[in-house]
């Protein structure tokens, strides 16, 4: 009988300071529109770097929607990766623009600049990219395309707290960045997100649309006008307080992720037939959301069997992402599905397994996962 453990794919890391922060808000009288939200915006800006304007929002989906409302026009084409969370494409759909899907690279899961370039038409107005599992895109190539074709760049940073390219944090490389604080991400506010931008005016416009499109015209809440169409995508003070408390541990969380990723990757090096998705150059720093392995050859065809065997050993897994977005029913029906168009995204969706490396995983667990996957591969070959 092989050793078993109980390692869930993800578990939010909530401590006493987090609980106290939320209770302090409940003991006060300001549940939204208050100092916690403002402070969280300031502190998140401080964390990701100079020149960031931040806006708390109710989710990453909300941030993506607001980014598209502010930077894209209905009827435009927006280049999006096929291998992403459906939220990325939904944001484009909701404003009446058209997502143009691009395949990924097999080594990183990210869109290759050459593929982005090939998708540009005269109707393209933006690139909405995703840093796959926290691995930064090749931003040198993508920003060069954007500047030559005058395109906006929106970064889906849902898994990119800690992702850097040439020293700059994700979200500040393009025109806007959208972060998620859903429970399984790097930091959590239960539900929540952050819109960030290097452009103060873009963040200001987004902040207005986030709160009904209101513009204050005098002191107090009774005097305002509404110059633009808006929504309510606000984050509550309870969530912001939790977010601030989580953010104070962000560096420690990232260190644990880096350490676990390195230990697990080392353990997998001698295992034949598994390929780890990771950065390829020194200028790219991953946030190590998870460790995705693509199973090669016939092992890849038996991916679900591998997942079952890992589960039997007590190892929780996930798949990023379960389907290329253009293969999902809504998009298939609307735009058609050509199985030959996205071979790499299909390979990652259908033949990969994501293993946990979050702060709930010990260094010893990381080694155990590597050993166990090695044993399973051996048993199955």
The residue ranges that bind ligand PLP (CB under 6 A) are 59-61, 84-85, 87-88, 130, 156, 158-159, 180, 182, 193
CA-to-CA dists, residue 66 to 91, 125, 208, angstroms: 8, 16, 10
Q: Which is nearer to ligand PLP, 168 or 180 (CB)?
A: 180
CB 343 within 8 A of CB 281: no
CB 183 within 8 A of CB 8: no
Minimum distance between the CB of residue 306 and ligand PLP, rounded to whole angstroms? 22
Q: Which is nearer to ligand PLP, 45 or 81 (CB)?
A: 81
Of 200, 202, 230, the residue nearest 215 (C-alpha)? 230
Minimum distance between the CB of residue 190 and ligand PLP, rounded to whole angstroms? 10
Minimum distance between the CB of residue 244 and ligand PLP, rounded to whole angstroms? 18
Q: Which is nearer to ligand PLP, 182 or 253 (CB)?
A: 182
Minimum distance between the CB of residue 130 and ligand PLP, rounded to whole angstroms? 5
The residues that bridge with 354 in the sheet, in sequence order, are: 292, 318
Q: What is the rounded CA–CA span in Å between residue 300 and residue 351?
A: 5
Q: Which is nearer to ligand PLP, 79 or 268 (CB)?
A: 79
Minimum distance between the CB of residue 277 and ligand PLP, rounded to whole angstroms? 14
Minimum distance between the CB of residue 367 and ligand PLP, rounded to whole angstroms? 27
Q: What is the rounded CA–CA span in Å between residue 358 and residue 344?
A: 26
Minimum distance between the CB of residue 181 and ligand PLP, rounded to whole angstroms? 7
Q: Which is nearer to ligand PLP, 99 or 193 (CB)?
A: 193
Q: Which is nearer to ligand PLP, 40 or 182 (CB)?
A: 182
Q: Which is nearer to ligand PLP, 187 or 263 (CB)?
A: 187
Minimum distance between the CB of residue 90 and ligand PLP, rounded to whole angstroms? 9
Q: Within 10 Å of residue 29's Cβ, how many Cβ atoms? A: 8
Minimum distance between the CB of residue 59 and ligand PLP, rounded to whole angstroms? 4
| Structure-derived torsion over alpha carbons of residues 169, 22, 67, 168, reported in degrees to the nearest 10 | 0
Intra-chain end-to-end CA distance of the chain, in Å: 19
Q: Which is nearer to ligand PLP, 129 or 369 (CB)?
A: 129
CB within 8 Å of 253: residues ≥ 6 apart: 13, 186, 187, 358, 359
Q: Which is nearer to ligand PLP, 161 or 284 (CB)?
A: 161
Q: Which is nearer to ligand PLP, 323 or 372 (CB)?
A: 323
Minimum distance between the CB of residue 205 and ligand PLP, rounded to whole angstroms? 20
Dihedral-angle region of residue 137 (phi above 0 means left; psi in -120 to 50 means alpha; beta otherwise): beta
């Amino acid at each position: 009988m092989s050793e078993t453990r109980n390692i869930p794919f993800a578990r939010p890391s909530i401590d006493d300071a987090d609980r106290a922060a939320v209770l302090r808000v409940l003991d006060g009288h300001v549940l939204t529109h208050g100092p916690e939200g403002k402070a969280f915006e300031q502190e998140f800006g401080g964390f990701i770097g100079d020149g960031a304007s931040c806006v708390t929002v109710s989710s990453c989906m909300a941030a993506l929607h607001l980014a598209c409302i502010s930077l894209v026009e209905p009827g435009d084409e927006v280049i999006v990766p096929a291998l992403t969370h459906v939220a990325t494409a939904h944001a484009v759909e909701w404003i009446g623009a058209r997502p143009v899907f691009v395949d990924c690279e097999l080594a990183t899961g990210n869109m290759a600049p050459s593929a982005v370039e090939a998708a540009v038409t005269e109707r393209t107005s933006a690139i909405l990219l995703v840093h796959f599992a926290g691995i930064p895109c090749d931003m040198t190539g993508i920003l060069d395309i954007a500047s030559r074709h005058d395109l906006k760049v929106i970064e889906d940073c849902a898994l990119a707290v800690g992702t850097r390219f040439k020293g700059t944090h994700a979200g500040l490389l393009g025109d806007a960045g959208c972060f998620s604080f859903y429970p399984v991400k790097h930091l959590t506010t239960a539900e929540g997100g952050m819109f960030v931008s290097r452009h103060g005016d873009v963040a200001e416009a987004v902040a207005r649309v986030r709160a009904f499109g209101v513009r204050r015209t005098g002191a107090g809440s009774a005097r305002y006008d509404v110059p633009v169409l808006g929504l309510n995508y606000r984050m509550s003070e309870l969530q912001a307080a939790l977010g601030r408390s989580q953010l104070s541990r962000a560096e420690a969380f990232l260190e644990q992720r880096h350490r676990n990723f390195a230990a697990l990757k080392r353990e997998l090096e001698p295992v034949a037939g598994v390929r780890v998705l990771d950065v390829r150059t020194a200028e790219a720093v991953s946030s190590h959301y998870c460790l995705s392995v693509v199973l090669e050859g016939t092992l890849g065809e038996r991916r679900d069997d591998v997942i079952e065997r890992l589960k039997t050993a007590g190892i929780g897994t996930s798949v990023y992402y379960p389907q290329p977005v253009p293969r999902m029913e809504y998009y298939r029906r609307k735009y058609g599905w050509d199985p030959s168009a996205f071979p790499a995204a299909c390979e990652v969706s259908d033949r990969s397994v994501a293993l946990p490396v979050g702060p709930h995983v010990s260094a010893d667990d990381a080694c155990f996962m590597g050993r166990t996957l090695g044993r399973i591969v051996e048993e199955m070959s």
